[in-house]
Each structure stands twice: as structure tokens, then as C-alpha cells.
Amino acid sequence: MTTEATPKKRTPVKRWIVLALFVIGGYAAFGSIGVLKPISPVVVLPAEPTGISIAGFPITNTILATLIADLVLILFAISAYRFSKSGKQVPSGMYNFFEFLVEFLWNSVKGAAGKWAPRIFPVVATIFLLVLAANMTKLFPGYEAIGYMKEIHEGKTGYAPVKLFDLGSIPVYGLDKNHPVIGAAHGEEHGEAAGGEAHGEESAAAKEMCTACEVVPFLRGSATDLNFPFALAVITVVLTQVYGVWALGPSYFSKYLPVGQLVSGGIFGLINFGVGFLEIILEFAKILSFGFRLFGNIFAGTLLLSIVGALTAIVVPPFLYLFEVFFGAIQAYVFFLLATVFISGATVSHHAEEHH
């Protein structure tokens, strides 16, 4: 005699939670005062000040985002170091993924640089991890959404501030996106915060709340500021020369100024001397290529999320976030791969090419 176990009826809790979030998101975007109503993004290329300074040096929102990415990397490094000292042989979870990532990067460098891989790997892997961390952290909720409010410029469209609640002694404001306001004059930045979009402390009586406001975010993706990709590009190109001299000595610069061929090479020596000047131009072109490739792709992705979010507040943006995760990882790897190829190429002698 056998008895069959009656299967338990499962309650689709997760399905109802997702449906409830869609309903809440739709109401917050298109109902009430429209605090979360999608609006057209404010496109600004220069990094914006956060009001924070260190030793008199102003900290912009992209610098603050880069410091957060650095902190994430440091915490990962400490965690990986502690795991390596724990005596465990088989990693799991995040450690397993980190081991796979490092091994994948090592194989890429080993295939391109050969015996120079142990010396090149720490540099290019650090660049990859920094760009990856910067691209991933910018996708966290709050980036480019939480900041302080300031008066818009004359003729532009802003929104009236709406007080949402008090966070202790700090008033939290949002923007009434159902009622756009046209700026009447050039305004100055105010310390009032836009909650839901920003938060802050009420200013002195001398400062008035903006009437036609926009939000200046506290955090913005590092690569959306030209300084970040171009700083990495300059570092990569400089290190290319350093590794070239390290591997070949002073003869490395002969590819830029082949004086010997100019003296004894006749017409072909003159041509090679001209090619040397083209090599110098190429080094500067690498900086432009590196910088604009990373900046353009990441800035365009951020702008795409903002524009599509302004058109469809729910359903579509989560899928674009998945695309941005993939695209951010690809851009980090492309930067890493080009840096590896350029640096490893500088360690190879060019005499064989000259004889050929």
C-alpha cells in the first residue's frame, strides 16, 4: 500500500511583491504630486561641486564617486587578503567570482606580454578593476538623483520645491514635477536639499528657497567626467614609455628619432625619420582614443537611461540596467586589453622590423 504525498500549494509571494512594486512605482511617478515623475534629464558635461572640500581642494560629484569606487576596491582587496590567509583551498560565492576574474585577466596578459606579464599585470589589472568598480557603483540608486537644489538659469524649465518630511532636524524636499516653472533670472546655488532627489539643511534666513529648481547630484558616474578617462589614458601612455625603456633601455627612443638611419640610410632613412615623428603623434592619439572611447560610451549609457526613464518610468529601465552592467564590464575590459597590448608592444625590440 503506497501513499502519495500531496504537493503543497505555493503562494506566489514574489510575484505579488513585484506587481506591488510596479503599482507603487506607477503611482509615485504619475499620481499625487509627481515627486518621482520622469522628466527630461539635465545634460551637463563638467563635474559639479558638492560643497565639500579637502584642504581647500573642492570635491566634485565625480571625484566623490571615484573615492567611493576606490573604497569598494580596497574593501574587496582586504577581504581577498583575509581569505588567502584563512587557509581555505576552495573559494565560494564572491571569492569564486573574484578568482575567476583575476585568472581570466592573467591569462589575457600572459598571452600578450609573455615573460613581462608578471610586471605588467598589476598595472593593467588595477586599471580594469577601477574602471569596472566605477561603472558598477554608478548604477546604484541615488546616483545622479540625490543632491542639492539650485535656481535654474533664465529661460530654462525648473520645478517648484515640495517639502516631503523631516529627517531629524533636516528637511527633505522633492520637486513638484506636475507644475514646471520657467526661470525668470539667473539664480545662485542654495544649500537647501532636494530629498527623494536630495536632502539638506535649511539655510539661514538670508538665503531663500529656489522657486524654479533643478537638482545638482552629489554623485555622478566617474567616467562621465572627461578628467577620469583622460587621467587613466595619460597614465597608460606614460607607463608604455616607462616599460619600453625598462625593457630596451635608451634604444627604445630610436623608434621616435632614428638618427642613425637618417645619417646612413639614404632616402629610406629619411622616410624612417619621418615615420618616427608619426610615432610621436600616435602616442598622443592614443590618449585621445583611450579617453573619448571610455567617456563617450559611459556618458551615452547614462544619458540613455535618463531619457528612457523620462519616457517610461517603469518596466523598461530595469532591462536597460542589465544592459549597462554588461556594457560597463565590456568597456573596462576593452580599456584593459588596449593598455595590455600597448605596454607589452613597447617591450618588444623594433630592430627586426627595421632590418626587414
Say if CB 142 and CB 199 are below 8 A apart.
Answer: no
Q: Which residue has the higher pLDDT, 178 or 297?
A: 297
User: Could you read off the pLDDT of 208-258 as tens digits, one per residue?
Assistant: 577 888 888 889 989 999 999 999 999 999 999 999 999 988 888 878 877
Please, which pLDDT band fits residue 321 given cuts at 50, 70 and 90?
confident
Distance from C-alpha of 298 to C-alpha of 325, rounded to nearest angstrom: 11
Q: Hey, which residues does 157 pair with through a beta bridge? A: 182
What pLDDT is recorded for position 355? 43
Average pLDDT of the chain is: 79
Which band of pLDDT confidence, cut at 50, 70 and 90, is reported for residue 122?
Answer: very high
pLDDT reading at 194 higher than 90: no
Residue given cell 522657486 in the structure block: 211
Read off the amino acid at residue 2. Answer: T
Q: Is the pLDDT of residue 196 over 50?
A: no
Q: How far is CA 352 from the centre of its chain?
A: 41
Q: How many residues does the chain have?
A: 356
pLDDT score recorded for residue 233: 94
Q: What is the pLDDT at residue 278? A: 85
For residue 144, give the C-alpha cell: 545622479
Q: Assess whether pLDDT exceeds 80 at residue 78.
A: yes
Per-residue pLDDT at 201: 43
- pLDDT of 260 > 70? The answer is no
Q: Could you tell me what percent of the chain has a pLDDT over 70?
A: 79
Amino acid at 22: F
Are residues 197 and 156 in contact, defined by beta-carbon separation less than 8 angstroms?
Answer: no
Please tell me the distance from the alpha carbon of residue 302 to that of residue 314, in angstroms, as a whole number.
17
Question: What are the distances in angstroms from CA 224 to CA 65, 146, 282, 297?
Answer: 11, 17, 25, 9
How far is CA 205 from each of CA 192, 208, 269, 299, rounded to the nearest angstrom?
Answer: 12, 7, 76, 38
Distance in angstroms (rounded) separating the CA atoms of residues 109 and 229: 21
DSSP 198: B
Dist. CA 191–CA 204, nearest whole Å: 9
- 125 contacts 356 by C-beta, under 8 angstroms: no
**CA 219, CA 47: separation in Å to the nearest integer?**
10
pTM of the predicted structure, to 2 decimals: 0.81
pLDDT of amino acid 9: 60
Model confidence at 343, pLDDT cuts 50, 70, 90, reads very high
In contact, 239 and 124? CB cutoff 8 Å:
no
Q: What is the structure's pLDDT at 132?
A: 94
Has residue 106 got a pLDDT over 90?
yes
